[in-house]
Amino acid sequence: MTLQKKTLTLPAGSAEIRQLRAGDEVLLSGRIVTGRDRAHRWLVEAQPEALRPFLKDGAIYHCGPVMTYRNGEWQCRAAGPTTSLREEPYLADIVQEYQLRCIIGKGGLGERSAEALRNSPAVYLSAVGGAAVCYANTVTAVENVFELEAFGMPEAMWVLRVRDFPLIVSMDAYGNSLHRDVETRSRESLASVLEAMERSF
C-alpha cells in the first residue's frame, strides 16, 4: 500500500473518506467544530438540532481553543488537540447520530469508536500536541459558537473554517490503526527484552 499526501475538503462523502488510509498525510479544509467533555455529553443527551447542519459529513475537533474578541469578531489564537479517549463513552453514538466523517484529536480511540468509523464510514485524524498556534493559523474564520455562556470558552462548541489544516490519518474506515500497530510493536519489543533478560540469568 502506497501512502500519500492528500487533500480533503469538508463536507465530505463516504467515497472520499474511503480513499484515505492509515498513515496518509492530509491537508484538511472546510468547516470543523470543536468539542470537549461537556460538549460531547450535551450532544448525546440533548441532541441539539442546531448543531446537525454543522456536523453532518463534517468533523469534530477535540480541542479547547483560545479565542479573543476584537473589532466585532472572534479570532482564534491557539487550537491544539486534546486527548480523544476522554470522549470514548460518547463518540460512537455521536458519529452515528450526527453523520460525522472525521474525528480530530490526539492519542487515538477505543474499539467501540473504531467500529463506528468502519460502519459510517469515518476516519480519525491525528493532530500534533504543542502546535496550537500553528493550527490556529489555519483558521480563516470563526463562523459560530454554541453554549459559550453555559460551558465557557474552552468547552464551548466553536464552528471554525480552516484551510490546509495538517493532519495524519491514524485510524481509517477499514479498521487499520497506527495506534494499535505501535502498541503491538511495543509489546513485542518488551517481550523480546524480557526474554533476553531471562536468558542472561
**Catalytic residue, candidates 31, 40, 101, 179:** 40
pLDDT of 93 > 80? The answer is yes
Query: Of 36-40, 81-85, 114-118, 186-190, which gets the smallest average pLDDT?
Result: 186-190
- Please report, for the chain, how many H helices and E strands are present, in that order: 8, 9
pLDDT of 100 > 70? The answer is yes
Domains belonging to the chain, first-starting first, are 5-176 (3.20.130.10)
Q: How many whole angstroms separate alpha carbon 177 and alpha carbon 175? A: 6
Burial of 51 (0-12, 13-18, 19+ CB in 10 A): buried
Residues 6+ away with beta carbon under 8 Å from 38: 147, 151, 155
Which one has a higher pLDDT value, 83 or 182?
Answer: 83
Asked if 62 is an active-site residue, the reply is no
pLDDT digits (tens, 9 = 90+) for 110-146: 999 999 999 999 999 999 989 999 999 999 999 999 9
Q: How many whole angstroms separate alpha carbon 66 and alpha carbon 63? A: 9
The residue-averaged pLDDT of 18-38 equals 97
Question: What pLDDT does residue 179 have?
Answer: 84
Instruction: Identify each DSSP E strand in 20-138 by its residue range.
Output: 25-34, 59-61, 66-70, 73-78, 102-105, 123-126
pTM (predicted TM-score): 0.88
pLDDT of 181 > 90? The answer is no
CB count in 10 Å sphere of residue 75 = 14
- What percent of the chain clears pLDDT 90, i.e. is strictly above it? 85
